[in-house]
Structure 1
């Protein structure tokens, strides 16, 4: 789709609930790479047959590398304009209700929303839900860092942006500014009151699974250890902060081994989604036997479509 908010074309993958129901929409927010196709479609999320059977529409925007899925104060010379929070809470929901010029039929939606993120997307998912409680009823973060003002969180955010040669001062201004403070979920998680919240992280210790996946690649193992150890500490801090928030339905998952990489993330997709769904209105029958709409590709228990640029014919999301 061509987004006025983002000032560019944005590809959004849509994975529909099984036919016959109006289901909640759940955003999936990718990590630092966030290119097309999304991590969800690359066999990481939708590759799990059990997830395909869940009565949920998964909405996976793409093309947000190193953006923190945030509204930036200034357009970046490398990363360009980024207004993701406005896009996700205002522009995209309207599109998903109305469809895109007859090209893609909107998913059958029951009106409720959740958001699940991994790594960079985990921090952003918790912030998005915390600051938009009128929209979201459930949220999940996998291996995220949830403070932006302590030393760990600041360096995590700065290095996330720098990973694709962006400048974090273009994002939120100088360290300690109001924008940096506003994105610190650990400092004030009060917007999560009453929500279903799922948090997970591994310790960063290298186990047999990591050696099996990455062998002797020391760079991957060391980087993954450092990043996941930081995520583990930040997740613990957010867990402590949530103890003072009323009625949070919190589920924690701490893994004794695992580094910051997809083999860890993937294990948390199904339990994370299932817990988010406990906080959302369940799907309801709508009497239709097909999802309908162009740009779909059949899948077990559902179908995938893509909201492409205006004038396109849509494309499969996997």
Structure 2
């Protein structure tokens, strides 16, 4: 089913295969502050928003989508969700950057045909024209999983006093897949994980090539540098494959994908058409994941399938509002 949907998306539209919505326009929450942490990737910035009641036990990591910029996390740019989380007495951790990274530890820096990064010129925006430019994940190897579960986790504990256990994590699209990966392999750190419009069956026919196209469009990254095709490293990243871990861990999950039908606020445009196809692909992946979990006897997940919604921030913000009470009840 996923393969058929992927072809339906890719052939008539010629679009970004599995990315997120159009590039965001920057916003800034003055209540949040920059939190820099050294790592194997160099200094990495996160944005922190403290819980309204000042507690340090309730913490959630909020993951961006495929076009994650180096300035602010998309949730701060596009939504008021971080502020709402803080009002629920939850400390919000927003890692910044990681475009096309899937928040994974990559096999190698992104490159093509053995050409070292920096051989081309960086251009504004994202796209294949950046394929040979230097920059994040190209001048060095992405090691986001190690950062989120090691450097950042320890710095939050040691410098801010944040609890390093029973945290939450959620994200959209690329970040949704990554949230489930983190919960699957770090159950002590994450007691809750949420995936919105995630790609949860990435080993299905056609999905690797769909991701290849998306990563090329979102910053000019090479999927083969992330993980060799169909090997253990790739399968380790596939929620459909590691679903038994989530059942065994008993992690509370919130898994959502909309129908792909536009809402009244999604006007006629190429972005809307693109978002319809992308959400249909995410929906097929998510339904497959739900079936897989059911065959394993997993009763630890809430599934939400809104009747209207496409692959964009309007959909993801509304989904976050629905999820927050469940997140609040399952962390700390």
Asked if these proteins are the same fold (TM beyond 0.5), I'd say yes
Aligned counterparts, 1:57-96, within 5 A: 57-76=91-110, 77=117, 78=133, 79-80=137-138, 81-96=141-156
Return the offset for 1:192.
Answer: 1.3
Which residue number corresponds to residue 199 of structure 1? Answer: 255
Aligned length: 267
Moved over 4 A (4+): none
Which residue number corresponds to residue 144 of structure 1? Answer: 198
Q: 1:170 to 1:20 in 2, by over 3 A?
A: closer
Query: Which sections of structure 1, spanning at least 5 residues, go unmatched?
Result: 100-105, 282-318
Q: Deviations over 1:163-182 (max 9, x none)?
A: 21011111002x21221111
Provide the alpha-carbon RMSD of the alignment.
1.9
Return the offset for 1:134.
Answer: 2.8
2:318 to 260, 267, 271: 267
Q: 1:258 to 1:134 in 2, by over 3 A?
A: same
2:86 to 29, 52, 62: 52
Conservation of the 8 A alpha-carbon contact between 1:202 and 1:232: yes
3-state SS in 1 of match to 2:195? strand
Aligned counterparts, 1:175-214, within 5 A: 175-193=229-247, 194-211=250-267
3-state SS in 2 of match to 1:19? coil
3-state SS in 2 of match to 1:137? strand
Aligned counterparts, 1:1-318, within 5 A: 1-6=36-41, 8-35=42-69, 36-46=71-81, 49=84, 51-76=85-110, 77=117, 78=133, 79-80=137-138, 81-99=141-159, 106=160, 108-109=162-163, 111-162=165-216, 163-173=218-228, 175-193=229-247, 194-211=250-267, 216-217=268-269, 219-246=270-297, 248-281=299-332
Q: Which structure is richer in relative contact order (CA contacts within 8 A, separation 6 or more)? A: 1
Q: 1:47 to 1:276 in 2, by over 3 A?
A: closer
Q: CA separation in 2, counterparts of 1:191 and 1:29?
A: 21
Conservation of the 8 A alpha-carbon contact between 1:142 and 1:265: yes
Q: CA separation in 2, counterparts of 1:278 and 1:245?
A: 24
Return the offset for 1:244.
Answer: 3.7
Q: Quick check: which one's strand share is greater? A: 1
3-state SS in 1 of match to 2:226? helix
Q: CA separation in 2, counterparts of 1:47 and 1:94?
A: 22
Q: Quick check: which one's helix share is greater? A: 2
Return the offset for 1:270.
Answer: 2.2
Q: 1:187 to 1:111 in 2, by over 3 A?
A: closer
Query: Which sections of structure 2, spanning at least 5 residues, go unmatched?
Result: 1-35, 111-116, 118-132
3-state SS in 2 of match to 1:12? strand
Conservation of the 8 A alpha-carbon contact between 2:154 and 2:164: no
Q: CA separation in 2, counterparts of 1:246 and 1:5?
A: 39
TM-score by length of 1: 0.78
TM-score by length of 2: 0.75
